[in-house]
Structure 1
Amino acid sequence: MSDDKKALRILFDTYWSPKGWKRDETVDRAEFEYARRAGYMFDPVVVAHDDIVAGLVSVRARVNLQRVADAFLASLSTRRLELRSALGSFAYAAQFPIHGLDEQTARRVPSGRLNCLICGRYGHASPEQQDLNILSFERWRWGGIRHADPLYSWFDLTQFEKADLIEPTEEDCSILARILDTATSLASVARPKELEKRLGKVIKSNRAERCVLIQILGYCGVLKPAGRNGFLQAFTADELRDRPPDRANDWTYPVIWWRGADGVDRDVLSRLFPKVAAMV
């Protein structure tokens, strides 16, 4: 996939302004066609819950974990956020169970839609139109947000297959080592928010990027809360992803439960990033 700054600008300008999210997401047709041909924007797709599940299970079999881990590493110095995203999606997909959407695996909400108790998606059993452009925007802008949504993970890994990958450098390894050293140096009761603040001096980034980075390290189990697993080790159904009573806490599962005392899971670190494991 080519590096097309014009197409990326069109994608970003569709959703974002200097004041933040746009209310009007209308895009000029000619500009949309340009960004679509470049692979940054997409026509809507019509899929059902079970199509998404099948697509995610299919793409995970084609993606190599080590390539995903290397891409995450290589994103740290280059700020290639679209490459960083794939580790979160692969971790979520690794143990993702094949399942269907029916009355036995879902609960009906007041709108009439079904909430899948396994993967958490809301929808009807019949196919529905899905907008991939907002997912593409989030992937390029922040390294993804919805890694625990099977539609995003499917889309993300499919795009990763087309990406121009780069090899991680010693600088990348050093950055991740400093990130993990920071995590292990926090007070035992420290929460992800404190880690995010401290990482502002460790890696070139904004707050949103740092939050996503920490959440990805939680998804894969490098930052593993006591008594809980990252998705790479075991899939936790949506109905079992408990949350603290603090409603102001908007971190995702499982890193929402991570505390400074949990530190870094060295077994997972050694599996994903052996060079970094030797440095921390």
Structure 2
Amino acid sequence: MPYDKKALQILLDAYWSPRGWKRDEAVGRADFEHARQAGFMFDSVTVTHDDIVAQLVSVRARMNLEKVADAFLASLSTRRLELRSALGSFSCAAQFPLHGLLEQTARRVPSGRLHCRICGRYGYANPEQEDLNMLSFERWKWGGIRHVDPLYCWFDLTQFEKADLVEPTEQDCSILAEIIDIASGLTPDARPNELEKRIGKVIKSNRAERCVLIQILGYCGVLKPAGRSGFLQAFTPDALRDRPADHTNDWAYPVIWWRGADGIDIGVLSHLFPKVAAMV
């Protein structure tokens, strides 16, 4: 997909200002059409839970893990956050089960929606309108923040299929190797917040981007908490994604449980990033 700076700015300006989130995200018709034609903004889609699941399983089958891992690596020096996102989505989709939104596998919440205990989505049996523009904004702004949401995974991987990919460089490998060295050298009780602060010295980024990067390393299993698995290796149903009692901890599962003593999983690192594994 050609990189249209004006279209990207229209998308970003719809949701974000120098003061943070915008309350009014209205976009003029001409601007919306420009961004839509460029592939940055989208018409809403009307889908059911089961449609989303089926589409995700379909796009997953077309993915190449090596290309996804290389895109993540190449994003480290280029700051191509939209490419970085795909490893998180593919990891969460890799073992994702084909399933339906059924009364016996879901719970009904006060709004009347069903909460799927498998994937965590809320929905009705009938199709609902879904806004893809917020997902697109999050993908370009931070590298995605909803990788465990099958709607985001489907959208993200579909966009990745259209992306102009770049090859990772030695600099990219060195950046990830430094991140791995930092993660491996923290004190046993260190938490993800400490890792986020430390890696700010080795990668051009802001805190939100670093948090997403760390969470993706958890989704793929490079950062593997003791007794838990990354989604790339095994799918953990929403009902089993336990969280610490500390409600101030807003990290995603499973990296929310990661501690310095866990270090990194060299087997997963070698599988996804063999050049980096040879450097650490």
TM-score by length of 1: 1.00
Which structure 2 residues correspond to residues 203-218 of structure 1 after superposition, within 5 A?
203-218=203-218
CA deviations 1:5-51 (Å, max 9, x no partner) are 00000000000000000000100010000000000000000000000
Aligned residue-pair number: 280
Match of 1:40 in 2: 40
Question: Which residue identity lines up with residue 159 of structure 2 in the other structure?
Answer: Q
Shift of 1:105: 1.2
SS at structure 2 position matched to 1:189: coil
**2:194 aligns to what?**
194
How far did 1:202 drift? Answer: 1.1
Pair 1:260 & 2:250 matched: no
Distance in 2 (CA, whole Å) between partners of 1:191 and 1:109 is 33
C-alpha deviation, 1:100, in angstroms: 0.2
Classify the secondary structure of the residue corresponding to 1:104.
helix
Equivalent residue, structure 2, for 1:49? 49
TM-aligned CA deviation for residue 70 of structure 1? 0.1
Cα drift, residue 128 of structure 1: 0.1
Unaligned stretches of 5+ in structure 1?
A: none
- Separation in structure 2 between the aligned mates of residue 210 and residue 261 of structure 1, nearest angstrom: 20
Alpha-carbon distance between aligned partners in 2 of 1:105 and 1:63, rounded to the nearest angstrom: 28
**Amino acid aligned to 1:16:** W
- Match status 1:145 vs 2:145: yes
Q: Residues 81-96 of structure 1 correspond to what in structure 2 (within 5 A)?
A: 81-96=81-96
Percent of counterpart pairs with the same letter? Answer: 80
Which residue of the partner structure matches residue 236 of structure 1? Answer: 236
1:55 deviates by 0.4
1: CA distance, partners of 2:127 / 2:250? 30
SS at match of 2:115: strand
- Asked if 1:8 corresponds to 2:5, the answer is no
SS in 1 for 2:103: coil
Matched residues in 1 for 2:153 and 2:193: separation? 25
Structure 2 partner of 1:60: 60
Question: Which residue of the partner structure matches residue 245 of structure 2?
Answer: 245
CA RMSD of aligned residues (A): 0.4
Structure 1 counterpart of 2:161? 161
3-state SS of 1:112 partner: coil
What is the alpha-carbon distance in structure 2 between the residues aligned to residue 138 and residue 163 of structure 1? Answer: 16
Matched with 1:115 is 115
**Could you tell me how far apart the structure 1 residues matched to 2:202 and 2:242 are?**
31
Where 2:104 maps in the other structure, the secondary structure is: coil
Q: TM-score, normalised by structure 2?
A: 1.00
Query: How far apart, CA to CA, are the structure 2 residues paired with 1:264 and 1:53?
Result: 31
Please report how far the alpha carbon of residue 132 of structure 1 lies from its aligned counterpart in structure 2 after TM superposition: 0.1
Name the aligned partner's letter for residue 32 of structure 1: F
Matching residue's letter, 1:174: S
2:277 matches 1:277 = yes
Structure 2 letter corresponding to 1:73:
L
* Residue 194 (structure 1) shift: 0.4
- Secondary structure of 1:246's aligned partner: coil
Residues 96-124 of structure 1: CA deviation (Å, up to 9, x unaligned): 00000010111000111110000000111
Aligned partners of 2:10, 2:118: CA distance in 1, in Å?
36
How far 1:196 sits from its partner (Å)?
0.3
In the alignment, which residue of structure 2 is the partner of 1:19?
19
Structure 2 residue matching 1:57: 3-state secondary structure: helix
Q: What secondary structure does 2:222 align onto?
A: coil
Measured in 2, the distance between the counterparts of 1:170 and 1:179 equals: 14
CA–CA distance in structure 2, aligned partners of residues 135 and 197 of structure 1? 26
How far apart are residue 126 of structure 1 and its match? 1.1
Structure 2: runs of 5 or more not aligned: none
